[in-house]
Every structure is written in structure tokens, then in C-alpha cells.
A and B are shown apart, each in its own frame.
Chain A
């Protein structure tokens, strides 16, 4: 009797699991087929993703970026962490870490439409953050993104305008 009861419970739990799984599958497939930003169910390609990520982001020199900055045609994007940003950053720069790039896409698109050029920077020649933020923004459709390699050091040593604190 006890064993029967136990196996009945196991069976009913199993049936519940099947019902939930099939309901989820049903809604997932239907919703994915009607939504605008759907993805192919079996079409992920890691090779394409790696290629996309390895595409070169153009670099810009310090003097070029300074000229455009003085002409107010350029927006600096500080890709470092918020603490480093607060300690000092290029005057007028905005702080966008790679993980937060998606949050800034709408406002950057407006600036992009106005003809602004974006330049990401971080600290040190090996620092990957400026490239990562530039990739994240480019993948989300922001054009005219450039990287100023070793940007913070170069800018600071050149004595160009900087500011401190949050924006």
C-alpha cells in the first residue's frame, strides 16, 4: 500500500513536470516566432560570434581626438570602473563599462545621429576595457566608435582638461 502510494506520487510529479515543460516549450516557440527580435531556435554560431568580436575597432590618435574634442565633435567614453572615473577622467567624458553599454545605446544613438564621434579609453596600453566597450556599442548599432589606446595616460601626460567626481 505504502509503496503503491509512493509510486503514484512519483508518477503524478513526473506528469506535472511534463505538463510544465510542454507549456514552456509551447509559449517559448510561439512567442519567439512572433516577436520582432527573435532568434533562430538552432542557429547559434560561436564561430560567427568570435569573428564579430575580433573585428578591429578603429583607433584614433591623441592629437586627432584632441582636435575633434576642441571642435565639440567628439564624445569621450571612459570604460574604466566608476571609482577610477570619479578619481579623474577626461572633462566631459561619460562612464560606460562594457557590461553597461546596452543601457546607454538610446542616448548615444541620438548623439550619433547628430554627427558625434565616440572615443573609448581606459588606463594602460594593455587595458581591454576600451575595446570591450567599443565592441559592445558597435554590436548594438552605434557607429563611429573609435579607441584611444592608453587614452587616460596619454591625455593626462599631455595636460589636457580633466575633471573629477561623478557626472
Chain B
């Protein structure tokens, strides 16, 4: 197997780097959230955005969604779908963060499990960067075959 198109042209190369970076982030975030679902549901509740009936469901589903997205991004499978969901998730996280930062709530971010740091503007910038990376991957990713002929 021969490596080609690496590192130039740069755009597919950066799409690959972003794809793998997002995969690592999602894998880590998903595993951290799975460890203690009870505490993670409290972290979701603290955002005061979801009705009680949806909180546990989201606390159970979201970590697995992140892990499946991570596996798709690593494997180069269903990348368009994974990148779409990734950008949608980061956009939702950013909206939730903004809403509570403006309201002045002093709550745990819950970004990487129940015991992440308190929400702040840096986390919002970080989410928006990940959102941009997801869009970049969606548009420019060429899959593993582009690099391994």
C-alpha cells in the first residue's frame, strides 16, 4: 500500500487531520459521559433547557451517539452523516452554552462528562471551532482511499 496525496494538496490533508481530531474528542467525551449516567443527567438538567421526560433519554443516547460518530470518523465510514451530526451537536452545545452564559448560571459544562469545569466563554469558542472543523470535514473530506491507493 502506497501513501499518495500526502501532505499535499493541503485541503484534504487538513480535512483528514480535523476528522481524526474530532473523532478523538468525541470518543473521549462519549466515554467520560457513559461512566456515570446519573450524574450526567443532572448536568443536563442544570442547563434548564429540556423537560424532565427527555433528560435521562438524552443522557443515555448522547454518549453513544458521540462514540458512533467517532468510530465513523476514524473508519471513514458514513463520514458525511457523521460530520453533519457532529456540526449539529456542536451547534446545539454552543446555543445551550450561550443561553446559560447570558443567563449567568454557574453550572458545570458537562462537555466531557458530569464533572467538567464550569461553563465559560472559552468553552463556547472551543465549541464553535469544533463546529467549523465539522463543516470543513463535511465539505472537504476525501476518505482514506484518497491517501492509500
Contacts and interface: CB of A to CB of B under 8 A. Distances in A.
B52 A37 contact: no
B90 to A, nearest CB: 15
B60 A39 contact: yes
21 contacts: A9-B80, A13-B84, A16-B80, A17-B84, A17-B85, A19-B81, A20-B65, A20-B68, A20-B81, A20-B82, A21-B65, A24-B64, A24-B67, A27-B64, A39-B38, A39-B41, A41-B56, A43-B56, A44-B56, A46-B52, A100-B115
A27 B71 CA distance: 13
Given A18-B81, A39-B60, A45-B52, 16 more contacts: A13-B80, A14-B81, A20-B81, A20-B82, A20-B85, A27-B64, A28-B61, A28-B63, A38-B37, A39-B41, A39-B56, A44-B53, A46-B52, A99-B117, A100-B115, A102-B39
Given A37-B38, A39-B38, A44-B55, A12 B80 contact: yes
Interface string B35-62: 0111101100100000011011101110
Interface in A3-53: 9, 12-21, 23-25, 27-29, 31-32, 37-46, 49
B78 interface: yes
At the interface, is chain A mostly helix, strand, loop or mixed?
helix
Contact of B64 (A15, A28, A37, A41): A28
Interface residues of A, number: 33
Nearest to B66: A24
